[in-house]
Amino acid sequence: MRMIGDFDSGASALWSLYRDEAKSRDEARIQTLKEDMDGVLIFVRSCSSCARNVLHSTDAHSHRLVYSLRLSHRL
Protein backbone atom coordinates (compact mmCIF):
# COMPACT_ATOMS: atom_id res chain seq x y z
CA MET A 1 0.00 0.00 0.00
CA ARG A 2 1.27 3.38 -0.95
CA MET A 3 1.37 6.03 1.72
CA ILE A 4 0.03 9.49 1.18
CA GLY A 5 2.63 12.00 0.20
CA ASP A 6 5.23 9.78 -1.31
CA PHE A 7 6.89 9.05 -4.60
CA ASP A 8 5.11 6.60 -6.78
CA SER A 9 6.73 3.92 -8.87
CA GLY A 10 7.63 6.47 -11.52
CA ALA A 11 10.38 7.82 -9.30
CA SER A 12 12.03 4.47 -8.79
CA ALA A 13 14.32 5.10 -11.71
CA LEU A 14 15.70 8.15 -9.95
CA TRP A 15 16.16 6.35 -6.69
CA SER A 16 17.76 3.34 -8.20
CA LEU A 17 20.12 5.75 -9.86
CA TYR A 18 20.81 7.27 -6.47
CA ARG A 19 21.32 3.84 -4.99
CA ASP A 20 23.73 2.73 -7.66
CA GLU A 21 25.71 5.92 -7.44
CA ALA A 22 25.77 5.82 -3.65
CA LYS A 23 26.66 2.17 -3.68
CA SER A 24 29.61 2.54 -5.95
CA ARG A 25 30.85 5.54 -4.02
CA ASP A 26 30.40 4.00 -0.60
CA GLU A 27 31.91 0.76 -1.69
CA ALA A 28 35.01 2.48 -2.94
CA ARG A 29 35.35 4.44 0.27
CA ILE A 30 34.66 1.51 2.51
CA GLN A 31 37.05 -0.70 0.63
CA THR A 32 39.91 1.54 1.59
CA LEU A 33 38.64 1.78 5.13
CA LYS A 34 38.48 -1.98 5.46
CA GLU A 35 41.95 -2.34 4.11
CA ASP A 36 43.19 0.14 6.69
CA MET A 37 41.50 -1.76 9.47
CA ASP A 38 42.86 -5.05 8.26
CA GLY A 39 46.27 -3.52 8.21
CA VAL A 40 45.87 -2.35 11.80
CA LEU A 41 44.70 -5.73 12.95
CA ILE A 42 47.51 -7.56 11.27
CA PHE A 43 50.01 -5.15 12.75
CA VAL A 44 48.64 -5.49 16.25
CA ARG A 45 48.58 -9.24 15.99
CA SER A 46 52.15 -9.46 14.84
CA CYS A 47 53.18 -6.97 17.52
CA SER A 48 51.52 -8.89 20.28
CA SER A 49 53.12 -12.15 19.27
CA CYS A 50 56.43 -10.39 19.03
CA ALA A 51 55.94 -8.82 22.44
CA ARG A 52 55.00 -12.15 23.95
CA ASN A 53 58.18 -13.71 22.67
CA VAL A 54 60.22 -10.84 23.98
CA LEU A 55 58.55 -11.00 27.40
CA HIS A 56 59.06 -14.75 27.62
CA SER A 57 62.68 -14.53 26.91
CA THR A 58 63.24 -11.28 28.76
CA ASP A 59 63.45 -12.90 32.17
CA ALA A 60 66.27 -15.21 31.34
CA HIS A 61 68.00 -12.90 28.94
CA SER A 62 67.83 -9.75 30.95
CA HIS A 63 69.17 -11.53 33.99
CA ARG A 64 71.97 -12.93 31.98
CA LEU A 65 72.58 -9.56 30.40
CA VAL A 66 72.52 -7.72 33.68
CA TYR A 67 74.74 -10.32 35.31
CA SER A 68 77.32 -10.25 32.57
CA LEU A 69 77.38 -6.50 32.69
CA ARG A 70 77.96 -6.54 36.44
CA LEU A 71 80.72 -9.04 36.04
CA SER A 72 82.44 -6.98 33.48
CA HIS A 73 82.20 -4.04 35.84
CA ARG A 74 83.82 -5.90 38.65
CA LEU A 75 86.60 -7.19 36.47
Partner 1 sequence: MVFYLQQNVAMLAQISQQISSISPQFAIPSSPPPPYPAFSPSSSNLRVNVFWFMALIFSLSAALLAILVQKWVRDYMHVFQRYSDPLKSARLRQYLHEGCEKWYMPVVAEAVPGLLHVSLFLFLVGLGDFILNINTTVGLCTVVPIGFIGLLYIFTVFASVIYPQSPYQNSFSALIWHLIQRLRGRTYKNQGPESASKPVSPNMSERQMQLTMAESGERKKRDGRAIRWLADSLTEETEMELFVVAIPGSFNTEWGLEVWKGISKVDEDENATANQKEIAAAPSAETNISTSMLPTVQPPPRATTVGNESGFIVRLIGMCTTNVSSTDIVAPARCTSDSPAPSVITFSQEENVVRELSRRVAQLLETCKNRGLFTTDEQWRRRTRACVETTASLVGCANAELVWFGDVGRLLGDIGGVEKTGESFSTGMDRSFVIRWICLSTMAIRPVLGGDRLLQRMAGGIVSSIQSFQGEQGAPDEQRLRSAEGIDDEFVRAWGCLLRLFWALFQGPNLTEQDMVEILRNHEFLITELERISVSASRLTWVDQGCTFLLRHMDQITHGITGQLPSVQKRFTIGPIPFSQVLEFFEDPLKFPIIPPGQVLQSLCSLAPRFRSILEGQGDAEETRETLMNLRAIDRVINLATSPLQRQLWRLRDLLEGGGLGFIVELFFRALKQLLSTSLSQELQSALFIGTFRAITSDWSLYKHSLGTQKILLDAVASEYGIFSDFNYPAYITDEFLQLLENMLDKQTGPHIDLALQQLENPPPWNYRGSPEFRANASNVIFQSSQI
Binding-site ranges for partner 1 (CB under 8 A): 6-7, 11-12, 15-16, 18-19, 22-23, 26-27, 30, 33-34, 36-41, 43-45, 47-48, 51, 65-66, 69
* 47-56 own/partner pairs: CB under 8 Å, 24+ apart: none
DSSP line for 3-70 = PSSS--GGGHHHHHHHHHHHHHHHHHHHHHHHHHHHHHHHHHHHHHHHHHHHHHHHHHHHHHHHHHHH
Nearest-approach distance from CB 45 to partner 1, in angstroms: 8
Q: Give the nearest distance from C-beta 53 to partner 1 in angstroms.
A: 14
Q: Which is nearer to partner 1, 51 or 57 (CB)?
A: 51
Least distance CB 12 / partner 1 (angstroms): 5
